[in-house]
Structure 1
């Protein structure tokens, strides 16, 4: 079966912002059976062949995918870990 890939260009000020936007966009369509959020990558317009992964590509011991960002610290997980709020915020 032939697979087709949809490319949706967006504009971001920097790589970190582009990765955040890509993760949000990918996560928002995860309910579609055709979507593969874990394969989401980011590249510059000038160099589309150099891609940056947005999700970790590791599998957990039970075979399920890690849901954390590609460069996360610590062990892989199915839950997104949030930092505690700063005091006074």
Structure 2
């Protein structure tokens, strides 16, 4: 049984690039058609979220 999934795109306003990057993710495709959840421009390979 497959579940329905929905993507919601919300506009955001940031005062500078550093603040904007806190809202953006890498977005590269991983195995299983999932997206990389790490921050944009992260160091190292894509993969599961890492705790800071």
The answer (yes or no) to whether the contact 2:29–2:35 under 8 Å persists in 1 is yes
Distance 1:9 1:77, change over 3 A: same
Q: CA RMSD in A?
A: 2.2
The partner residue of 1:74 within 40, 44, 51 is 44
Greater share of strand residues, 1 or 2?
1
1:23-58 per-residue CA deviation (whole Å, 9 max, x = no partner) reads 2xxxxxxxxxxxxxxxxxxxxxxxxxxxxxx11121
Give every structure 1 segment of 4 or more consecutive aligned residues whose post-TM-superposition deviation is greater than 3 Å: 5-10
Q: How many positions carry a matched residue from both structures?
A: 44
State how far apart, in whole Å, the 1-side matches of 2:13 and 2:19 are: 14
Which structure has the greater CA radius of gyration? 1
Question: TM-score scaled to structure 1, two decimals?
Answer: 0.38
Distance 1:61 1:77, change over 3 A: same
Q: Structure 1 unaligned segments of length 5 or more: list them.
A: 24-53, 83-89
Residue 55 of structure 1 aligns to a residue whose secondary structure is: coil
Relative contact order: is structure 1 or structure 2 higher (C-alpha 8 Å, sep ≥ 6)? 2
